Amino acid sequence: MKIKIIAIILFIILTIAYSIDIDEVENLFRSYRSAFNSGNSQNFAGLVTEDFSYPETEPHLSRQIFFGIVSLAPYKIIDIANITIYPIRTGIDSAMVGVNFVISYDGIRDTIPNSFIVVKQDNRVKLCRIIDPDIEEKISEQSDIPPAKK
């Protein structure tokens, strides 16, 4: 019984010490919004991992596409809404994140759902992969772990 209690306490301590929390993700997306709105892809240097990718695309090509979109996008991200974190069972240093970007283009506002895999790397949370928002919905329906929301 004592061993079980000690194991549970150690698990909780490790989870708190190494897991990705909602505040870290919120800060990441604040920085993302600032970097995106600057139009300068170099501002993303510390926000994405070296192997950042889109589904079914090589990381190097994914980075070029992503940075090209940032440089050429005719809209601005005016708000970040509905951040939801889903734990990934493969490790405590990664999570799936669903987020809505509220954008403005010539005075027209729209909300665009996005999903990312984020990882903790060098003591910072970074974007690792852009995923299909439909995948996020399917995972959330099947998960027995409740998501963290902000």
Q: What is the mean pLDDT of each run of 10 residues along the chain (150 residues)?
A: 59 54 91 92 88 81 84 89 80 83 92 91 90 62 52
Checking DSSP bridges between strand 148-149 and strand 124-131, what pairing results, if any? unpaired
The pLDDT, as a whole number, for residue 61 is 85
Rg (CA), the chain: 17
Report residue 127: phi and psi, to 5°. Answer: -75, 130
H or E, element range at 53: strand 48-53
The pLDDT, as a whole number, for residue 126 is 94
Residue whose token pair is 């929390």: 21
Q: Mark residue 20 as left, alpha or beta (left: phi above 0; alpha: psi -120 to 50; beta: remaining).
A: beta
Residue 29, both tokens: 């997306």
**Burial level of 149, CB count in 10 A (0-12/13-18/19+)?**
exposed
The pLDDT, as a whole number, for residue 17 is 47
Where in the chain are the domains? 20-149
Query: Taking a C-beta distance cutoff of 8 angstroms, is the pair 150, 30 a contact?
Result: no
Q: What is the DSSP string of 89-141?
A: TT-TTEEEEEEEEEEEETTEEEEEEEEEEEEEETTEEEEEEEE-HHHHHHHHH
The arrangement of secondary structure in 20-149, i.e. its CATH architecture, is: Roll (3.10)
